[in-house]
A = this chain, B = another copy of it.
Amino acid sequence: MSTSPTADAPTGTQEHVLHRISEELAVTFDGVFGPDMVERYVFESYAALARTAKIKTYLPIITRRFARDRLNALAHAQGKRPSGVPEVLFVCVQNAGRSQMAAALLKDLTRGAVNVRSAGSMPAEHLDENVVTAMNEIGLSLGEEFPKPLTDDVVRAADVVITMGCGDTCPIYPGKKYEDWQISDPATMTIDGVREVRDALRARVEGLVSQLVG
């Protein structure tokens, strides 16, 4: 039996980086979560992203951000570190188009007055290129975003969960508002189609803002 690690996940190196990230986040969440819990979040976040992410180069970086955001969500949900602002979660199938656009639009319109997250039931390998282009055209960069699987913690943290095309994949908890938006999937669209989706989303997000922050 031969040991045959794949080329871009060198034995031990990746693990070393993940341990370092765990130690750093254990300090960030000191008094909120124990180091064991933090380490589990880091390693499970890595495994969850590695399942679908095509390019492994940035995995440790996005693992760090994903794990930190999930821990923030959990800390908020459990009342240990409340964010003090409304929390909104957008969910679509691939977290490569609709939910990413909606999240970017809402972030831009509210600038910190609302905490915004997005996720997918079956995350894609990377963001849709036309989606990135269409958002760039209105001055919004998705360059640091990545498709993330839907997790329990981000649902728990949300006051409002907005689903688009992902059916009943989202856990339902009392005390939250669930909305389903009928928005076409831009995955197979030309750039013109994606622009229409973007503008339709902008209108809906503007409506949401007026409900959330008056």
Residues of A within 8 A of B (CB): 1-12, 14-15, 34, 36-37, 40, 43-44, 46-48, 50-52, 56, 74, 121-122, 149-153, 155-156, 160, 167-174, 176-180, 211
A155–B46 Cα gap in the complex (Å)?
12
B8 & A153 in contact (Cβ 8 Å cutoff) = no
Q: Complex formed: what's the CA distance from A118 to B37 in Å?
A: 24
| Cβ of A160 to closest chain B Cβ, rounded Å | 7
Please tell me how many copies of the chain the complex holds: 2
Q: Are A52 and B169 in contact (CB under 8 A)?
A: yes
- A3-B177 contact in complex given A44-B152, A47-B155, C-beta closer than 8 Å: yes
User: In whole Å, how far is A103's beta carbon from the nearest beta carbon of chain B?
Assistant: 18
CA gap between A8 and B40 in the complex, in Å: 31
Are B151 and A56 within 8 A (Cβ)?
Answer: no
How many Å from the CB of A177 to the closest CB on chain B?
Answer: 5
Closest-CB distance, A184 to chain B (whole angstroms): 20
Determine the chain B residues whose CB is within 8 A of the CB of A121 once the complex forms: 51-52
Residues of B within 8 A of A151 (CB): 44, 47-48
Q: Which residues of B contact A3 (CB under 8 A)?
A: 176-178
* CB < 8 Å neighbour of A11 from B15, B167, B172: B172
The verdict on A47 contacting B150 (CB below 8 Å), with A4-B180, A168-B8, A211-B1 known, is yes
